[in-house]
């Protein structure tokens, strides 16, 4: 059977990964197509309250394939697309999927099952729901299966629902290990290394100033242990790092930045390079010191703590 799983899948966290496995089980060896949307629908429908992102679309597609999808169909979510009636939404969706998925003889593979969450809404004014999707499926030749959010018992936290909202809450609280448990890996942001004030270099700690490419969820201001990723798979280089997030109040800064200090190689020329930054654990909050000497001493302590943390949590 050809099974189609629909959702945003921002972050492709453990809940999403479990849903993909459920779709694979339902497919009985047939193809599994995942439909995702870019940009996030909320960025078009209610931009003033759109959630911060856990992943860009290129990384999301790679993660969905890694989770087991045979095909990933990215739907461009535009104002025009959001204005489609529920019936038009389904027809366009089915047509685009069938056009993309063919068998060994290049024949289109029809959609047998659409899998969606119980709260899935679609079409103009979010008028479509699971009941309507089921009715449209009967008319158009596919079945609908509803999946629940994935939960797990977590020590000291009770029953936790793996969701993108939960991951964002953990990141906003500075709980990077908690976010990593939900994601199944460290939280990553991506961007380009740009020129900054170069104050770190003057203090003996040259940093890469990473200009984020998207409105990512970023942890609170402070210092973190983490990883800097250069290059693309399978040629990615992973470097241990101390990461500073904040406005640099020691020097009356106002712009919020993400700056990365590589622990093992301080001479790297990273300007204009696209990199990933993974957060492992929080070391401390942002602070202002009585003197530059005090700041430098704290930075030395931060680097040693980062080494210790990363040594205890090696990257797989």
- Residue 253 scores a pLDDT above 70: no
State how beta strands 208-212 and 3-6 pair: unpaired
pLDDT of residue 250: 65
Give the up-direction half-sphere exposure of residue 70: CA atoms within 13 A in the CB hemisphere: 18
Strand partners, 279: 187, 226
- Residue 114 scores a pLDDT above 90: yes
State how beta strands 237-246 and 222-230 pair: antiparallel
pLDDT of residue 254: 67
Q: Please report whether residue 141 resides in a domain.
A: yes
φ, ψ of residue 298 in degrees (nearest 5): -65, -40
Q: Are 32 and 88 found together in one domain?
A: yes
Name the DSSP class of 69: -
pLDDT average, residue stretch 290-306: 89
Q: Using the structure block, give the residue that is written with the tokens 């590589």.
A: 262
Q: Which of 127, 152, 177 is the last residue of a domain?
A: 152
Single out the residue of 137, 73, 72, 142 nearest to residue 110, CA to CA: 142
pLDDT of residue 148: 82
**CB of 194 within 8 A of CB of 273?**
no
Q: What is the CATH number of the domain that holds 81?
A: 3.40.50.620
pLDDT of residue 233: 82
Q: What is the CATH number of the domain that holds 305?
A: 2.40.30.30
Strand partners, 108: 102
Catalytic residues: 259
Q: Please report whether residue 183 resides in a domain.
A: no
pLDDT average, residue stretch 183-204: 84
**CB of 255 within 8 A of CB of 163?**
no
| CA pair distance 116, 99, nearest whole angstrom | 21
Q: Please report whether residue 157 resides in a domain.
A: no
pLDDT of residue 98: 82
Q: Are 92 and 213 found together in one domain?
A: no
pLDDT of residue 198: 67
| CA pair distance 32, 236, nearest whole angstrom | 28
Q: Please report whether residue 107 resides in a domain.
A: yes
- Residue 102 scores a pLDDT above 90: no
Q: Are 199 and 91 found together in one domain?
A: no
Establish whether the linkage from the previous residue to 39 is cis, with ω within 30° of 0. yes
Q: Which of 120-124, 178-182, 252-256 has the lowest mean pLDDT?
A: 252-256
Report residue 291's pLDDT band, with 50, 70 and 90 as the boundaries: confident
Q: Please report whether residue 31 resides in a domain.
A: yes
Q: Over the chain, what is the mean pLDDT?
A: 91
pLDDT of residue 251: 67
Name the DSSP class of 251: G
Q: Which of 119-133, 208-222, 241-255, 261-275 has the lowest mean pLDDT?
A: 241-255
The residue segments making up the domain with residue 143 are 3-152
- Residue 73 structure tokens: 């169909």
Report residue 100's pLDDT band, with 50, 70 and 90 as the boundaries: confident
pLDDT average, residue stretch 236-244: 94
Q: Please report whether residue 177 resides in a domain.
A: no
Report residue 202's pLDDT band, with 50, 70 and 90 as the boundaries: low
Q: Are 131 and 202 found together in one domain?
A: no
When divided into structural domains, the chain yields a total of 2
**CB of 8 within 8 A of CB of 19?**
no
In sequence order, which residues have a C-beta less than 8 Å from that of residue 96 and are 6 or more positions away? Answer: 73, 75
Q: Are 135 and 239 found together in one domain?
A: no
| CA pair distance 152, 158, nearest whole angstrom | 8
Q: Please report whether residue 164 resides in a domain.
A: no
Single out the residue of 138, 132, 142, 122 nearest to residue 30, CA to CA: 142
Q: Are 253 and 134 found together in one domain?
A: no
What does the buried/exposed string (b/e) look like for 182-191 if buried means 16 or more CB atoms within 10 Å of the residue's CB?
bbbbbbbbbb
Share of residues in the chain with pLDDT > 90 (%): 71
């Amino acid at each position: 059977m050809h099974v189609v799983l629909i959702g945003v899948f921002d972050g492709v966290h453990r809940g999403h990964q479990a849903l993909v496995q459920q779709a694979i089980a339902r497919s009985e060896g047939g193809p599994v197509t995942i439909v995702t949307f870019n940009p996030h629908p909320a960025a078009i429908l209610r931009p003033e309250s759109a959630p911060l992102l856990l992943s860009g679309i290129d990384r999301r597609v790679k993660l969905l394939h890694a989770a087991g999808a045979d095909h990933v169909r990215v739907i461009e979510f535009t104002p025009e697309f959001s204005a489609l009636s529920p019936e038009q939404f389904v027809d366009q969706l089915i047509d685009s999927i069938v056009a993309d998925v063919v068998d060994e003889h290049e024949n289109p593979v029809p959609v047998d099952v659409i899998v969606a969450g119980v709260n899935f809404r679609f079409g103009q004014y979010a008028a479509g729901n699971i009941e309507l999707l089921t009715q449209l499926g009967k008319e158009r030749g596919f079945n609908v299966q509803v999946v629940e959010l994935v939960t797990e018992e977590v020590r000291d936290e009770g029953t936790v629902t793996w969701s993108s909202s939960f991951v964002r809450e953990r990141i906003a609280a500075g709980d990077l290990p908690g976010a990593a448990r939900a994601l199944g890996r460290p939280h990553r942001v991506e961007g380009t290394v740009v020129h900054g004030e170069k104050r770190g270099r003057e203090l003996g700690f040259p940093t890469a100033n990473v200009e984020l490419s998207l409105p990512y969820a970023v942890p609170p201001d402070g210092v973190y242990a983490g990883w800097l990723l250069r290059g693309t798979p399978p040629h990615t280089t992973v470097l241990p790092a101390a990461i500073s997030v904040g406005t640099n109040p020691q020097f009356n800064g106002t712009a919020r930045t993400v700056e990365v200090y590589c622990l093992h190689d301080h001479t790297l020329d990273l300007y204009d390079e696209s990199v990933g930054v993974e957060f492992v654990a929080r070391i401390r909050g942002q602070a202002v010191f009585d003197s530059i000497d005090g700041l430098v001493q704290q930075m030395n302590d931060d680097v040693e703590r980062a080494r210790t943390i990363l040594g205890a949590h090696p990257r797989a």
